[in-house]
Structures are given as C-alpha cells and as structure tokens.
Homo-oligomer: A and B are copies of this chain.
Amino acid sequence: MTEPLYDFRSDNVGGAAPEILEALLAANAGTAAPYGDDDHTREMNQRFTALFERPVRVFPLSSGTGSNSIALAALANPFGAIFCHETAHINVYECGAPEFFTGAKLVALPGRDYRLEPATLDEALALAGAGNPTRVQPFALNLTQPTDFGTLYSTREIAELCAIAHRHGLRVHMDGARFANAVAALGCTPAELTWRAGVDVLALGATKNGAINAEAVVVFDDALARDIPFRMKRGGQVLSKARFVSAQLARYVADDRWLERARRANALALDLSRRLTALPGVTLVAPVEINMLFLRLPDAVVAALDRGPFRYYKLGRDARFVCRHDQEPAGIEALVDCIRGAALPGC
C-alpha cells in the first residue's frame, strides 16, 4: 500500500472525511425505497436548494463520468455539438462517455491556460453551421471549472461565456469535479459560480474532496430534469441503494467543512508552488489556482523523485502533484526537501 504521506497522485486516492463516513453509517439504519425515492435523497435536494439559494433538482450518482454524461444528455441531441476546451476532461479522459450518452460530437477549441476564451467561442459558434444539415448542431457548452490543469474561470468569465452560449441558443454544462476547490479559491458563492452566471446544469463532484463515490447532477432549469431519471436508468447510473450516496451529499453541503477542506488543499498547493518555483530549473506549466501543480522539473529532480518514496503523475515531460484535503504537512516538507536537494545539489 502507498504511504499516504508521500502520495501526491490525485485527490481521489485519499479517503473520506469523518463526518461523511458517519453520515454513510447513519444511513444504514432502517429501510428505504430504492432508486432515489427515499428521505435521504429528499434531504439532499433540500440542502442543495439551500446551498444554491434557489430550487434545484439534484440526482445522486457514483461516477463523475456518469454525472457529466447524464448532465450533457439533458442538453444535447444526438445530432448535436458540445463545445469545450481541447483539454476538457470530457474530451480527453472519459473514453468517449459523453458522446456515448448524448450521441453528440465534442467540438474542441483552443484557449490560453486551458480556458475557453470568449472570442474563440463566439467565432466558433458563428461558423458552426447552425441550421445546416451537414453540420452537427450547436446545443451545449461545457465549462470545466476548475480545468484539468488547475486553472480557474472567474465568475465574470463564466458569465461572459454563458452569455455567448445562450445568445447562440446553447445551454451550459459545468464540469465541477473539483467544484469545492473552485468555490474556495474564488471566494464566491455556489450560486454566483453557477446559475447566476448562466450555468444550466452542474456536475458537482464530492468524491475528490472527502466523499466515497458521491457525485451530483444539479439542474437549475426544471424542464431539463424531466428526462434525467430515464436517461440515468438506461445508462446504468441509478443506484439501487441511492440513499448511501444521497446521505453523503446531504452531509457534504450541510456545513462549511467541504469548503474548509478545499481551502486547505488549495493553500497547501499554493505554498508548495511558491517554495518549489524558487528553486533553479523548476517552472510552472500552469498557474496554480487550486490544489494542483503542474511542473517542469530538471532531470536530476525527476531522477531523485523516482527513487521514491513519492508518488505523482507524469504527463509527458511534466509532473503533476495534487494536494489532498488531508495531506499531511510532513509529506509536503519531505517533498520540498527532496526536490530542493536535487535542484540545489550543493546545499
């Protein structure tokens, strides 16, 4: 087993937060109707309604890929186009699931710092061939917030992109696998980051921030929710004992601990970033805005890291380090020591 102290692979390699585990255990009492027709699911809906400051429809799932795919299927027809950044998680790391569930095509656009840019989107939509039967038809915009490279859209940027999308008749999906990290980093409210900025459907992930396979499709327009139960069942996304996911999600947003965890992970990454980029030869591939660092490292550093005991992901020539909510300071210190030692061999 990997020693957690040295494990920087991802925020999904860690476990659950104590109060989430307690909620899961508490949900074991009594009997409950299956498939989401239970009190825990109803409570989850109420808590999300409170969190987002408006009525929402929330569906519990256990897969983030499923969550994104179901959300997108509510927006796009089989002959549709879903616009996204070329590095979007849905475009690269879901093995075609969004296309499978929607039948639509992902249209990938470039953009600085892994973010879509308003002018690029606007031009792409203008040239998308709306009404032309030889072209897939624009239906949805995907925003990955934070991006897979740990960068963030400001609420103003999201509003601007949503406005462009809506003007062209598209609906907006936010992939919020690390939604907590985004809210924590931006200091905004969940409402400001989503429906107030124009987001129609949110896939909110809790798994990476202290839950156990607990994801939520949050729908801000009731009409979009109508077919979701059928699409979920057909897609194998309905949980027999849904209460065990709903109970986690209800607890997740019941107080501010989800944000505190995210804030802590973000802060660890920022601190790590500052200390490492002070070293010779260590450069950032992407700005550090949440709990992830993408670094270009000197060969000697890579060699030192490869001697262990550290775990992290390599992406081509780059290295990714993710700070979990429960990352221990000692591990951070050890990582800095290792990299410093290799980058500054004389010291």
A residues whose Cβ falls under 8 Å from a Cβ of B: 1-4, 7, 9-10, 12-16, 21, 24-25, 27-35, 39, 61-67, 69-70, 77-79, 92-97, 99-101, 103-106, 108, 127, 133-137, 207-208, 212-213, 227, 229-241, 244-245, 311, 316, 324
Minimum C-beta distance from A335 to chain B (A): 14
Cα of A236 to Cα of B48 in the assembled complex, Å? 23
Contact of A316 among B67, B108, B127, B229 (CB under 8 A): B127
Establish whether residues B127 and A100, one from each chain, have CB atoms under 8 Å apart when the complex forms.
no
Cα of A15 to Cα of B32 in the assembled complex, Å? 9
Establish whether residues B29 and A236, one from each chain, have CB atoms under 8 Å apart when the complex forms.
no
Q: Which residue of chain B is the closest to A236 with respect to CB atoms? A: B66
Minimum C-beta distance from A110 to chain B (A): 10
Jot down 6 A-B pairs with beta carbons below 8 A, ordered by A.
Answer: A2-B33, A4-B31, A14-B31, A62-B62, A108-B108, A137-B230
Cα of A113 to Cα of B117 in the assembled complex, Å? 26
Minimum C-beta distance from A24 to chain B (A): 8
Contacts of A7 in B (CB 8 A): 31
Of all A-B residue pairs in the complex, the 6 with the closest CB atoms, nearest first, are A66-B236, A95-B233, A133-B229, A79-B230, A15-B28, A13-B31
Mostly, the A contact residues are loop
Minimum C-beta distance from A45 to chain B (A): 16
Establish whether residues B238 and A62, one from each chain, have CB atoms under 8 Å apart when the complex forms.
no
Given contacts A134-B94, A136-B96, contact A1 B32 (CB under 8 A): yes
Contact of A95 among B21, B127, B234 (CB under 8 A): B234
Contact of A241 among B34, B70, B108, B212 (CB under 8 A): B212
Contact of A240 among B12, B30, B69 (CB under 8 A): B12
Minimum C-beta distance from A104 to chain B (A): 7
Establish whether residues A97 and B12, one from each chain, have CB atoms under 8 Å apart when the complex forms.
no
Contact of A233 among B31, B34, B134, B324 (CB under 8 A): B134
Contact of A1 among B10, B39, B104, B241 (CB under 8 A): B39
Given contacts A32-B2, A230-B95, contact A207 B241 (CB under 8 A): yes
Cα of A103 to Cα of B97 in the assembled complex, Å? 10
Given contacts A79-B95, A100-B103, A127-B316, contact A238 B133 (CB under 8 A): yes
Cα of A34 to Cα of B7 in the assembled complex, Å? 12
